[in-house]
Amino acid sequence: DLEEDIYMEQPEGLVKPGEEKLVCRLRKSLYGLKQAPRQWYKQFDSYMLKIGYQRCEYDCCVYVQCRDGHPPIILLLYVDDMLIAGSNMDDIVELKRLLGR
């Protein structure tokens, strides 16, 4: 999950006597870590591409899906907010269901 080695002090309450100087290497992103938003975005981006959306080449936070016989659906991402636009409510509901997984 992480692209670099990150170490932290042992969490309070989990330190064994005699092992106070040991540290923990993180294997996954942790809330509050400065790398956490980037890791979240990379996972989100990968999922959106997997479910058939295309990332806009001019803005990496805009995703569009154009399927034959369906009007396009556009998803805009800004920090932790999303805006979904489309004229077919069933397609929007389906996208929201997929994002809820």
pLDDT for 68 equals 87
| pLDDT tens sequence across 11-33 | 888 888 888 888 989 988 888 88
**d(C-alpha 55, C-alpha 20), whole Å:** 47
| pLDDT tens sequence across 37-89 | 888 899 999 999 999 999 999 999 999 999 888 899 999 999 889 999 999 99
Type of residue numbered 4:
E
- What value, to the nearest 5°, has the Cα angle with vertex 60 and ends 54 and 65? 20
DSSP 3-state of 39: helix
Give the pTM. Answer: 0.77
Locate the domains of the chain by residue range. Answer: 6-100
pLDDT for 98 equals 96
Question: Does an H or E element contain 81, and which?
Answer: strand 81-86
pLDDT for 82 equals 95
Q: Regarding predicted confidence, which is higher, 101 or 50? A: 50
Q: Are 73 and 65 in contact (CB under 8 A)?
A: yes
Helix then strand then coil, in percent of the chain rounded to 5, is 25, 25, 50
pLDDT for 84 equals 97
